[in-house]
Structure 1
């Protein structure tokens, strides 16, 4: 992958005013995929929306990284249940017609 397509984590730390350890903890918990190139850590730009959510949860709600992991797992389960509900509704419409 080309470095030009990646975002340096130190730049994110400065921009969002968070410690590098925050990103390291997210990476250790499997919430963030970090690529290290020439001793600098990078993330893919597609992950920025999720990272912004995590930072808001951390800063505004004062939730630690373990709590962020729980919140994101719950949000994923909610999304899966909503998809399952929509699928069931669509199948019901077939029988109602």
Structure 2
């Protein structure tokens, strides 16, 4: 095997070993690329716009109930991942956002 063949073989092996694992859009919230994530978010927004206010209220309540017990974990993971801030402050920031971000109460129907 000459040098060129060896180099080709090594590149092939490395590209197979270092290639990102295939990501299926079947998994919730996991996308192959940013463009796919943006497209999915846009489609979700269009569907959400069509939801009656009662449904939107239920969605927001479910998000708040689901996220509340995870605030400490989210704060710790974000502080660790970014290397910025501290988990205590991030917890308070997340808690304030969860509790104080308006839901549908500011929307009016006419």
TM-score > 0.5, shorter chain as reference: no
Answer with 1 or 2: which has the greater Rg. 2
TM-score under structure 1 normalisation? 0.31
TM-score under structure 2 normalisation? 0.28
Q: Which structure is richer in relative contact order (CA contacts within 8 A, separation 6 or more)?
A: 1
